[in-house]
């Protein structure tokens, strides 16, 4: 990896970016890490370069990429905060210091887990960009995990899967989440990983020749006729996700992997609907599989048109149709959000977890960083807790929320059919109050039809209460 590669990547996002700043940071970091080597014998500066490159890839802003180059200079060299501040200003120095603070963890075992989690949330409160740097730092450490002892490999993989990957999902940085998860999967379940990887590659090869190329060919001809600029992509490999689905639903690989998918990226929203029309004119749609997440985005802000058709040779084929902006948001989440905000292209308010929106608002409105931090600390993270599902999804709930609130936050049906909860792997009642960092799994009773009126006594969220009341009303009609 070279500094030129990073400069090119940054220029793709912003052609007027201050390249001199990057070069300066590179020289600074190179001298700071002079003579240092990673455990895999690579010069240390390679780690800084890779971290910065990944940040540029997810469209992080220039300060963040620069801080990525400098991120280990306080921790691993003689430099101080003041030193960085003098050379690069307070904003970048604060980012580097934020990363340094995240790096030192005192405890072991469960305590270590909690400490890590708490630190991540505190860092997010200070400046969300610190967490983005941490993800890229971690991802490069994962990619070079081979050089470490078995014990360390397992600890780092487990910690990533439990803490960093879920938070990356929470912030919508899916690309980093998936990459982290697949590497952790490889270290934690090596046999399953290899088996699945092999199956995936075999299927993909056959799929590719038999269907994808033909489908692309047919579609491309029609899109050219309609004069629609487009880009067609195959499915993104995500083995850990397939593995989780097989475990959770007790299904075989081919049952999960039965439909093949293509993604079409076009310039405008109007083009998305035009392409949908073209796809449906070529192949017969499977009616119950059409979803318009453009006019009705998912709660996490995700936007796309999804449709499944009886495609080439009658093979079920899913199409995801979206604009470049939607595509970036789906892969890079909060990082892309800033990118589009800066460019002024973000016309529509995004539907994201409420607190992300509030953080972004606070960032926009605050006169200075100090005001911003105070606002976030006092008003946004105040009275909220973060609870995890076993598959790593994070839910934000009000303080004093109970297991039933969590059940309804996951899905209405889970709420309606809930009978109990496993909280941190211990059996608990639905009225149990949840704490920050709890891992919760809801036990359901399949045949149950209605929620219990008594739940209203301990449901705290508006969502849970209204869902329970809805059923009581229906029943009394």
Given the residues 9, 14, 42, 75, the one annotated as active site? 75
Contact status: 61 vs Mn ion (CB under 5 A): no
Give me the 205-234 binding string for Mn ion, x by CB under 5 A, dash otherwise: ------------------------------
Contact status: 135 vs Mn ion (CB under 5 A): no
HEC per residue, 270-295: HHHHHHHHHHHHHCEECHHHCEECCC
Query: Which one of 132-140, 169-177, 308-316, 442-450 is the stretch in contact with Mn ion (CB under 5 A)?
Result: 132-140
Smallest distance from Mn ion to CB 111, Å: 23
State which residue, 131 or 418, has the beta carbon closest to Mn ion: 131
Query: Which one of 134-142, 165-173, 316-324, 369-377 is the stretch in contact with Mn ion (CB under 5 A)?
Result: 134-142
State which residue, 72 or 271, has the beta carbon closest to Mn ion: 72
State which residue, 68 or 437, has the beta carbon closest to Mn ion: 68
State which residue, 72 or 325, has the beta carbon closest to Mn ion: 72
Query: Which one of 68-76, 119-127, 128-136, 266-274 is the stretch in contact with Mn ion (CB under 5 A)?
Result: 68-76
**Of all residues in this chain, which one has the CB nearest to Mn ion in the complex?**
137
Query: Which one of 130-138, 255-263, 314-322, 414-422 is the stretch in contact with Mn ion (CB under 5 A)?
Result: 130-138
Distance of alpha carbon 248 from alpha carbon 163, whole angstroms: 20
Residue 75 appears among annotated catalytic residues: yes
State which residue, 133 or 421, has the beta carbon closest to Mn ion: 133
Smallest distance from Mn ion to CB 386, Å: 25
Smallest distance from Mn ion to CB 103, Å: 7
Query: Which one of 67-75, 195-203, 230-238, 273-281 is the stretch in contact with Mn ion (CB under 5 A)?
Result: 67-75
Using CB under 5 A, which of 126, 137, 271, 325 touches Mn ion?
137
State which residue, 70 or 407, has the beta carbon closest to Mn ion: 70
Residue 162 appears among annotated catalytic residues: no
Check if the beta carbon of residue 392 is closer than 8 Å to that of residue 161: yes
Given the residues 9, 76, 162, 318, the one annotated as active site? 76
Contact status: 416 vs Mn ion (CB under 5 A): no
Contact status: 72 vs Mn ion (CB under 5 A): yes
Mention every residue, 6+ apart, whose C-beta is less than 8 A from residue 156: 141, 142, 145, 148
Smallest distance from Mn ion to CB 42, Å: 13
State which residue, 142 or 294, has the beta carbon closest to Mn ion: 142
Q: Which two tokens stand for residue 407?
A: 């059940």
Binding stretches for Mn ion (CB under 5 A): 72, 137
Catalytic residues, by residue number, are 75-76
């Amino acid at each position: 990896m070279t500094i030129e590669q990073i400069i090119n990547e940054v220029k793709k996002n912003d052609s007027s970016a201050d390249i001199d700043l990057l070069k300066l940071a590179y020289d600074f970091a190179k001298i700071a890490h002079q003579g240092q080597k990673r455990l895999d014998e690579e010069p240390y500066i390679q780690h800084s370069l890779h971290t910065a490159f990944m940040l540029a890839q997810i469209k992080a802003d220039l300060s963040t990429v620069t801080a990525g180059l400098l991120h280990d200079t306080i921790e691993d060299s003689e430099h101080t905060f003041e030193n960085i501040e003098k050379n690069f200003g307070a904003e970048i120095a604060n980012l580097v210091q934020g990363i340094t603070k995240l790096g030192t963890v005192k405890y072991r075992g469960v305590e270590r887990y909690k400490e890590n989690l708490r630190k991540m949330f505190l860092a997010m409160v200070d400046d969300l960009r610190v967490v983005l740097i941490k993800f890229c730092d971690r991802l490069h450490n994962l990619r070079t995990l081979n050089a470490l002892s078995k014990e360390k490999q397992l600890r780092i993989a487990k910690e990533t899967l439990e803490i960093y990957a879920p938070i990356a999902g929470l912030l919508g940085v899916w690309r980093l989440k998936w990459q982290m998860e697949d590497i952790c999967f490889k270290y934690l379940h090596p046999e399953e990983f290899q088996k699945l990887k092999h199956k995936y590659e075999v299927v993909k090869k056959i799929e590719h020749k038999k269907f994808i190329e033909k489908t692309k060919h047919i579609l491309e001809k029609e899109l050219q006729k309609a004069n629609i600029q487009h880009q067609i992509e195959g499915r993104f490999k995500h083995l850990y996700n397939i593995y989780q689905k097989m475990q959770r639903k007790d299904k075989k690989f081919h049952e999960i992997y039965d439909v093949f998918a293509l993604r079409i990226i076009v310039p405008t929203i109007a083009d998305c609907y035009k392409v949908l029309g073209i796809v449906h004119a070529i192949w017969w749609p499977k009616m119950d599989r059409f979803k318009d997440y453009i006019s009705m985005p998912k709660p996490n802000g995700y936007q796309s048109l999804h449709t499944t058709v009886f495609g080439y040779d009658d093979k079920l084929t899913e199409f995801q149709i979206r604009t470049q902006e939607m595509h970036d948001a789906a892969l890079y989440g909060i990082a892309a959000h800033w990118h589009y905000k800066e460019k002024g292209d973000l016309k529509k308010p995004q539907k994201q977890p409420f607190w992300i929106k509030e953080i972004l608002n606070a960032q926009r409105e605050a006169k200075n960083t100090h005001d911003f931090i105070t606002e976030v600390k006092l008003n946004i993270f105040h009275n909220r807790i973060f609870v995890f599902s076993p598959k790593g999804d994070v839910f934000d709930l009000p303080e004093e929320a109970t297991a039933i609130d969590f059940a309804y936050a996951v899905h209405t049906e889970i709420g309606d059919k809930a009978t109990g909860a496993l909280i941190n792997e211990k059996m608990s009642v639905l009225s149990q109050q949840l704490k920050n960092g709890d891992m919760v799994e809801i036990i359901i009773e399949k045949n149950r039809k209605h929620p219990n009126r008594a739940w209203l006594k301990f449901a705290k969220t508006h969502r849970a209460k209204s869902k329970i009341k809805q059923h009581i009303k229906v029943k009394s009609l």
